[in-house]
Structure 1
Amino acid sequence: MRNFGRIVGTLVAGLLVSGALGSAHALDQKPVLSVEAAEKMALACDAYARSHSWKMNIAVLDDGGGLLYFRRDPASFRGSVDISINKAWTATQFGFPSRVFGEMIVKRAEGIQYTPRLIIFPGGLPVKAGDLLIGGIGVSGATGDQDEECAKVGLEAAKDLLK
């Protein structure tokens, strides 16, 4: 019986070493949105907003919808804090700009406007590395189109870090 245990132990050890029992492949790796890239986006957006005298709240979320970076102009609307975060959340969860939902409900509402956290106006954009969704940026404080314009400036500023 003792020999049987040694034989089984030796076989299991051999299988583990050869990779037959465990995965022989490393985990698939996906790009991750870095704090550095998030900060670069927010700072570029903030500088652009200030050059137009827009008082913005800027949120950058990771691909799970967690807040990675936030920047607020002290003179911005306090109510826009959650709106900017939820614009980024909308883009992160669905992979397309928040404005798309506004365009959808004009044609056919279906109650989507009552979905918690979902924002239906411009200012939320997905952050991608190639074709992979890695986060979202949400901007609020001016008109929806100006918010989205500012978010685009942020994405453009960090494109070298989004690989």
Structure 2
Amino acid sequence: MKAKLLFAACTVSLLSLAATATAQEMSYPEKCKAMDMAKTDTSSGGDMKMNMSSGGDMKIDTPMDQMGDYQKAVMGNMKSMHDDMMQGMMQKDPDVAFVCGMIAHHMGAINMSEAELKYGDDKAARAMAKKVIAAQKKEIAEMTKWLDKEAK
């Protein structure tokens, strides 16, 4: 139900937006990559890692040669999105961390939507992908503008 309401809100407010730049043409803001990060404990000798399961780092068990073209197209982008989100979330300022994490997250949504447009053939799913691209680009622009103004 929540997803339907969110989708409806995005549809109503974003029908007139055009998506022109691809996700690959967008870049993760430098201010989100800055080394102004919260102190992390690396005394064990390794870098801080995000464990996605009780067994360790996030991983996919399906070999690449067994994946479809869509899955292959999004896998590299998903890793990039995850890495950028983690880096952004480590900013000391919680507001900057939130915005940086959300920019990376939105860029991931654009990448997935672009893969849908390339490989998908369902008219409704393709229409949703176009709306996601438009909505996420608008929000990335707003967040980047905020970041340029507010992040030190």
TM norm structure 2:
0.25
Query: Larger Rg: 1 or 2?
Result: 1
Task: Give the number of the structure whose residues are more often strand, by fraction.
Answer: 1
TM norm structure 1:
0.23
